[in-house]
């Protein structure tokens, strides 16, 4: 049952801009759900990766078109992946401490709220072509989301919108940028996974896949009507509640 709840939470919060890491910490602390085992983490990472591959299949095919090097989608994704990779390696131990204490979580949820609410200030210009500079800035936004409570999708999509990118362009680039990070996390954890546990994790993994696809569909619709900032009120309310509960 705990694995099932974890799978559903992962699927919903991985793609909606409310932070999957923050909500998984909440599950562990408030619902007395133990930290997911390595095998479950690998399964859930692969489930969310498959969800992205299915949902963005056409966009992924478009990555292999001929284009000038500095404008090629694969080069832009490489540039966007650099900040999170470097910061993750340099500050790995410092970052891990924030996952071990729920007291930090409301403050990171507040930062997430500020990021999302800032999209109300989005530039009116709508840019359809991403430049290396756009990719790098969005990459730094992704690096910030290494911290629990700060959403990767929320940070990257918001950064794209504030740069003036057309919402669907920001949405697509954000989740294509997630592929290397999700795949990398799964590969790093794979050697420690226990293959004999996989059959018992099929249902949680399928739940993560299905809820992940639904979350992507929902986020796309919300971006279309330009209401991303509404999620900021949710994480702000959550932060206030947590500040009251853990005083």
**Spatial separation of the C-alpha atoms in residues 204 and 4, rounded to whole Å:** 5
Instruction: Supply the pLDDT for residue 195.
Output: 59
Say how far apart CA 32 and CA 22 lie, in whole Å. Answer: 15
Q: Three-class SS of residue 142?
A: helix
Evaluate whether 160 touches 122 at the Cβ level (below 8 Å).
no
Q: How far apart are CA 231 and CA 35, in angstroms?
A: 26
Beta strands in the chain (DSSP E): none
Residue boundaries of the structural domains of the chain: 2-245
Look at residue 35 in the predicted model and tell me its pLDDT.
Answer: 56
* pLDDT per residue of the chain (247 residues) written in tens, 0 to 9: 677 888 888 889 999 999 998 988 888 777 676 555 566 777 888 899 999 999 999 999 888 876 677 788 899 999 999 999 899 888 888 888 888 888 999 999 999 999 999 998 876 678 889 999 999 999 999 999 999 999 999 999 999 999 999 999 999 999 999 998 888 777 776 666 665 566 667 888 899 999 999 999 999 999 999 999 999 999 999 999 999 988 7
Residue 98, pLDDT score: 87
pLDDT reported for residue 236: 97
Length of the chain: 247
């Amino acid at each position: 049952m705990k694995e099932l709840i974890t799978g559903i939470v992962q699927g919903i919060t991985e793609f909606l801009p409310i932070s999957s890491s923050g909500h998984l910490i909440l599950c562990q602390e408030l619902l007395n759900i133990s930290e997911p085992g390595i095998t479950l983490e690998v399964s859930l990472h692969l489930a969310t990766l498959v969800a992205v591959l299915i949902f963005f299949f056409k966009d992924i095919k478009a990555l292999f078109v001929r284009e000038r090097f500095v404008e090629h989608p694969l080069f832009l994704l490489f540039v966007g992946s650099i900040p999170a990779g470097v910061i993750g390696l340099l500050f790995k131990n410092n970052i891990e401490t924030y996952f071990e204490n729920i007291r930090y979580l409301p403050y990171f949820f507040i930062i997430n709220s500020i990021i999302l609410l800032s999209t109300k200030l989005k530039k009116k210009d709508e840019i359809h072509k991403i430049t290396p500079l756009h990719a790098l800035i969005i990459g730094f936004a992704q690096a910030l989301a290494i911290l629990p409570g700060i959403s990767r999708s929320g940070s990257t999509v918001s950064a794209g919108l504030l740069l003036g990118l057309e919402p669907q362009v920001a949405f697509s680039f954000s989740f294509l940028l997630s592929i290397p990070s999700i795949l990398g996390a799964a590969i790093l954890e794979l050697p420690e996974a226990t293959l004999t546990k996989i059959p018992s994790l099929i249902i949680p993994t399928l739940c993560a896949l299905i809820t992940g696809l639904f979350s992507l569909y929902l986020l796309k619709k919300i971006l279309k009507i330009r209401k991303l900032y509404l999620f900021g009120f949710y994480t702000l309310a959550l932060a206030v509640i947590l500040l009251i509960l853990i005083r």
